[in-house]
């Protein structure tokens, strides 16, 4: 029990959820207070995690819960992302009438599930965290009951996610049957590379995880769910669960299944290649910005998986750097979407960006920087993110993966540059309302500046991530 302080953030968020639910029920018109308290809860949890010692590995609950450098770092960026999602989307949730006490509580529940997933060192603990996250996301996707698309998005996500969870659970049960344990370390001790039967369980688990990060061919839910969900929920979908899923991927591949690297490496390479190519090509014909972001995120997950496929510490570290830069870029892009408001109505089609630079030069400039970064054009942070991945891949002589990644980057640059053309050279539309909300301004400014000025001091992020050693 001396290490119980390592789970204080999870305990604190759990108690906060209970308090906010009770408070929201008994006090009328408390949505604003609950929303603010949810943000404060995440800030306090962040402070608790930052104070963890990073020079030791701690195991809790009979070695089923692990606190190490990987889990601490991923928890920090998960909570930071959650804070900025809530802060930037406050005005949107208010105007779209999804500003209820349940909304903030569901976000907290989902983040709690992600924290459990990140630290899980046991199949059962991992599954509990996954379902806690997924159950909250089902409701959030269908949260805007005034729109049929939102209900459709929630239903699609629920059905397909339930299928993937079933496959994942089946994979976990197979691994337990073959290894005699659910603990990650014991699984790695009991599973030998020569035993092909273990591959079946591994494949089912990877299918379930690939669904969670919308990797091809398990991406089919993403475009519809991204488009149909409220924009604030789409932002949450696009950013926060990806961090937890990547942490789980790293933990799964390099702890229990490290002896099966020859088997899973080809699977990860296939997922990476397919996601990069499909994401780049499918995004070209999209007219809705949220669908375009969905296909874009599929492509970006391909690059993150490429770093994991190489089987080295530097590859893992570069994937983590990639996901950090990816979430900053997405935060900025969605802030621009939140700014596209006229007469209390939000717009999210490509044509709505027409001539944006004429009436909104600052938003246009931010969007220009962010799109250049997403396209991987130097000196933006997105260029360095892809550059690090390519270095890791080339070091391991995976030239085909690097070539496909480069071709996908060129293809994706086409649709990003098309958006820039629409913003700067098409005839302007009616002017959008002025941004009055401070949280949105500060999030947009921070994300833009971080992406633009990353090249000045890239070693700050690199030095933080370099402490994470898995192999």
Grade residue 116 by pLDDT with cuts at 50, 70 and 90.
Answer: very high
Axis crossing angle, helix 8-26 with helix 31-50, rounded to the nearest 10:
170
Burial class (CB in 10 A: 0-12, 13-18, 19+), 227: buried
pLDDT per position as a tens digit, 289-345: 888 888 988 999 999 999 888 888 888 999 999 999 999 999 999 988 888 888 878
User: Is residue 438 pLDDT above 90, yes or no?
Assistant: no
Query: Is pLDDT above 70 for 2?
Result: no
**pTM across the whole model:** 0.93
pLDDT at 458: 83
Q: What is the mean pLDDT of residues 107-129?
A: 91
DSSP SS3 for 360: coil
DSSP secondary structure code for residue 257 in this structure: T
Q: What is the mean pLDDT of the chain?
A: 86
**Domain boundaries in the chain?**
4-465
Q: Return all residues near 396 (Cβ < 8 A) that are at least 6 apart.
A: 310, 311, 312, 315
Q: Please, are residues 230 and 141 in contact by the beta-carbon 8 Å criterion?
A: no
Residues 6+ apart with CB under 8 A from 233: 140, 141, 143
At residue 55, the pLDDT reads 73
For 313-437, where are the alpha helices, taking DSSP H only?
A: 313-339, 356-359, 361-375, 381-395, 399-425
pLDDT the model gives residue 286? 84
Looking at residue 196, what is its pLDDT? 67
In contact, 277 and 408? CB cutoff 8 Å: yes
> How would residue 195 be classed by pLDDT, with cut points 50, 70 and 90?
low
């Amino acid at each position: 029990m001396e290490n119980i302080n390592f789970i204080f953030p999870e305990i604190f968020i759990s108690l906060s959820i209970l308090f906010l639910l009770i408070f929201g029920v008994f006090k009328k018109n408390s949505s604003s207070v609950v929303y603010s308290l949810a943000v404060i809860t995440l800030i306090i949890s962040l402070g608790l995690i930052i104070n963890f010692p990073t020079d030791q590995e701690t195991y809790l609950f009979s070695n089923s819960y692990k606190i190490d450098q990987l889990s601490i770092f991923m928890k920090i960026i998960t909570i930071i992302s959650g804070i900025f999602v809530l802060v930037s989307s406050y005005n949107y949730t208010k105007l779209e009438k999804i500003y209820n006490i349940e909304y903030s509580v569901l976000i907290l529940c989902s983040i709690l599930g992600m924290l459990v997933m990140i630290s899980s060192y046991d199949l059962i603990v991992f599954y509990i965290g996954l379902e806690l996250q997924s159950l909250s996301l089902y409701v959030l996707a269908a949260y805007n009951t005034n729109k049929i698309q939102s209900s459709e998005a929630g239903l699609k996500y629920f059905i397909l996610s339930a299928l993937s969870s079933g496959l994942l659970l089946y994979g976990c049960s197979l691994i337990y049957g073959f290894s005699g344990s659910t603990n990650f370390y014991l699984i790695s001790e009991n599973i030998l590379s020569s035993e092909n039967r273990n591959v079946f369980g591994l494949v089912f688990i990877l299918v379930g995880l690939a669904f969670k990060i919308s990797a091809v061919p398990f991406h089919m839910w993403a475009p519809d769910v991204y488009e149909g969900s409220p924009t604030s929920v789409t932002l949450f979908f696009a950013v926060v669960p990806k961090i937890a899923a990547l942490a789980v991927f790293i933990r799964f591949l390099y702890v229990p299944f490290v002896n099966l690297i020859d088997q899973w490496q080809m699977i990860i390479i296939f997922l990476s290649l397919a996601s990069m190519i499909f994401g780049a090509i499918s995004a070209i014909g999209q007219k809705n910005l949220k669908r375009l972001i969905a296909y874009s995120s599929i492509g970006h997950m391909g690059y993150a998986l490429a770093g994991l496929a190489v089987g080295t510490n530097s590859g893992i570290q570069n994937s983590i750097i990639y996901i950090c830069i990816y979430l900053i870029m997405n935060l900025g892009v969605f802030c621009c979407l939140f700014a596209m408001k006229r007469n209390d109505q939000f717009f999210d089609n490509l044509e709505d960006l027409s001539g944006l630079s004429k009436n909104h030069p600052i938003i246009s400039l931010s969007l220009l920087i962010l799109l250049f970064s997403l396209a991987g054009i130097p000196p933006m942070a997105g260029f360095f993110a892809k550059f690090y991945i390519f270095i890791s891949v080339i070091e391991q002589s995976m030239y085909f993966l690097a070539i496909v990644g480069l071709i996908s980057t060129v293809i994706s640059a086409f649709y990003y540059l098309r958006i820039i053309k629409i913003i700067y050279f098409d005839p302007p539309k009616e002017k959008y309302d002025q941004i009055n909300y401070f949280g949105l301004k500060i999030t947009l400014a921070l994300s833009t500046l971080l992406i633009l000025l990353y090249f000045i001091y890239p070693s700050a992020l690199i030095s933080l991530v370099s402490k994470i050693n898995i192999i």
